Amino acid sequence: MSIEIINRALIKIGEGTITSLSQNPYGDLMGLVYEDQRKMLLSSHYWRFALKRGRLAELDEETGSTLFAYAYALPADYLVLKDFGEFYKMPNVSDAVVAPDVRYSIEGNRMLCQQPGNINITYIADVSDPKLFTPLFKEALIALIAAEMSVRIKQGADYKQLFLAEFEKYIIQAQMNNEIVRDMETMPDNSWVTIRDTWRNEEW
């Protein structure tokens, strides 16, 4: 939790700062909004500072699924999957290949799949230490919190739209700065060849 980020958001909407989350009138509420928006922002994009690699160990338990025979425990800090083994989550080219695209299923704190042994994944971690945030992530988070709180405090949609436009500006800048992994990077080298050959076959 970052009081600095919360205070920056309060200043944006024209309110006084706080010294703790127990301070009235907005301390408790700002703490809840902060956590919700932080996790939402982390989960919405592949931020490089939050990318982690992990190897999942197989669980000795039934999957309860007829499609998947093996279950794996997800990391405690797991938020969103990026890559699964040699398969790639984005972009979705399932309609460009003949084989079915169901390779795994995230259910609760487990991953179910048909692959035995250890599984390598790349994922977005639940990074909570503000010292690890990049400047653009921090500014985007401040704008999101201000947008959420402006409706509650100022009772006006115009403020929210203003802060959401500012948020979009920071996201675009982060993408330009390569702080956010582009979707293209999640495709294997031969994916374009696969798509091209599929399209050619459909033309014939």
Please determine, for residue 195, whether its predicted confidence score (pLDDT) is greater than 60.
no
Provide the pLDDT for residue 97. 39
pLDDT value at 26 more than 90? no
pLDDT at 105: 86
CA atoms within 13 A on the CB side of 66: 0
Helix axes 27-44, 3-12, angle to 10 degrees: 100
The pLDDT value recorded for residue 103 is 76
Task: Label residue 170 by pLDDT band (50, 70, 90).
Answer: very high
Which pLDDT belongs to residue 59?
A: 87
Residue 86: per-residue pLDDT? 54
Count CA within 13 A, CB hemisphere, residue 41.
28
Residue 42 is predicted with a pLDDT of: 96
Q: What is the pLDDT of residue 43?
A: 94
Question: Crossing angle of helices 135-153/157-176, nearest 10°?
Answer: 170
Task: State pTM to two decimals.
Answer: 0.76
The answer to whether the beta carbons of residues 166 and 55 sit under 8 Å apart is no
Cα–Cα nearest to 1, from 25, 37, 26: 37
Q: For 33-72, how does the pLDDT look when each residue is reduced to its tens digit (9 = 90+)?
A: 999 999 999 999 999 999 999 999 888 888 887 778 888 9
Per-residue model confidence as pLDDT tens digits over 103-152: 788 888 988 888 887 888 999 999 999 999 999 999 999 999 999 888 77
Residue, of 199 and 63, whose pLDDT is higher: 63
Mean pLDDT, the chain, rounded, equals 80
pLDDT value at 204 more than 50: no
Most confident region among 23-37, 49-63, 76-90 by mean pLDDT:
49-63
Residue 185 has pLDDT above 80, yes or no: no
